[in-house]
Amino acid sequence: MCALVTGATGGIGEAFARALAPTTKLILTGRDEARLAALKDEFGPQTEIVSADLLTEEGIGAVAATADSLGCDLLINNAGVGDYGNFLDVDFEKHRATLRIDNEAVLALIHRIVPGMIERAEASGRRAGVINVASSLAFFPVPTFATYAASKAFVLSFSESLSAELADAPIDILVSCPGAVKTEFGARAGYRGAAIPGAMSAEKVASATLAALGRQRTVVIGPVSAAAFGPVALARSMFGQAFMRAAQVMDRVQTRG
């Protein structure tokens, strides 16, 4: 099997790579060239690395071309960004980057790579797969993470629709919606609040997601999962209040400092 993992230089993406190695030919992508090189050294010569920025057409093209040339049959769209803060307080270009990486790059890679994956699967009598990493935040609006939550809602809806469209093709489409995960995503997004209770390891997310591929269309992982299916108004209130309280605490801390 040959698997392409985007956003592979840390967090859930790296956990996917580790869960798949060493029996899988890996294509690992990201922007951290040094980290990609270190992963290649660790995993061996069957690992191909592509340093690419998915904000650019050139980056998407380079990743897609590598996937086609190596016969990729598992695409894991894991790369994602987001920014914490009230919508109007965050620079608009950051919102645009969230949509381009979390949504547009996902669509572009699927549109370019999946036809070849299906063709190869039909010829070999085997199945291909696509995993799109969303979030449990995809199920409800989240003040102070408005664009990110909306982008993941898009991934959820698109993935379920695509799965239905390709139901008769030899390919499995899965959208993974983890709750809080112990990664550096929150810090990069600008969230400075306390660690979220119950946050799980990236390894748990990767293993649970891979186990669900071919068995269901959507997998919700973690202690937040029950809230994902509750009334939208209740979920909005609960998450909105939690994030706003965290922001208020940080404002008081910064003011005292």
Taking residues 112-125, what's their average pLDDT? 98
Taking residues 158-178, what's their average pLDDT? 97
First to last CA, the chain: 53
What is d(CA 49, CA 92) in angstroms, rounded to the nearest whole number? 31
The pLDDT assigned to 126 comes to: 96
Task: State whether the Cα torsion 74-67-159-134 is positive or negative.
Answer: positive
The pLDDT assigned to 236 comes to: 47
Q: In which domain, by residue range, is 51 found?
A: 2-256
How far does CA 149 lie from the centroid of its chain?
A: 12
Question: In this model, does residue 132 exceed pLDDT 90?
Answer: yes
Record the tokens describing residue 23, joined without a space: 């029996």
**Residue 25: is it exposed, middle or buried by C-beta count within 10 angstroms (0-12/13-18/19+)?**
buried
Q: What's the domain count of the chain?
A: 1
What does the DSSP assignment read for 96-143? HHHHIIIIIHHHHHHHHHHHHHHHHHHHHT--EEEEEE--GGGGS--T
Taking residues 186-193, what's their average pLDDT? 50
* Beta strand 128-133 pairing with 171-178: parallel
Question: In this model, does residue 180 exceed pLDDT 60?
Answer: yes
Which CATH number goes with the domain that contains 81? 3.40.50.720
8-43 confidence digits (pLDDT tens): 999 999 999 999 978 899 999 999 999 999 999 999
Taking residues 207-213, what's their average pLDDT? 97
Which of 78-87, 167-176, 236-245 bottoms out in mean pLDDT, i.e. has the lowest?
Answer: 236-245
The pLDDT assigned to 243 comes to: 55
The pLDDT assigned to 252 comes to: 56
With CA atoms as reference, report the closest residue to 121 among 175, 168, 66, 65: 168
**Residue 46: is it exposed, middle or buried by C-beta count within 10 angstroms (0-12/13-18/19+)?**
middle
CB atoms within 10 A of CB 57: 10
Residues 6+ apart with CB under 8 A from 225: 136, 177, 179
Q: What is the pTM of this model?
A: 0.86
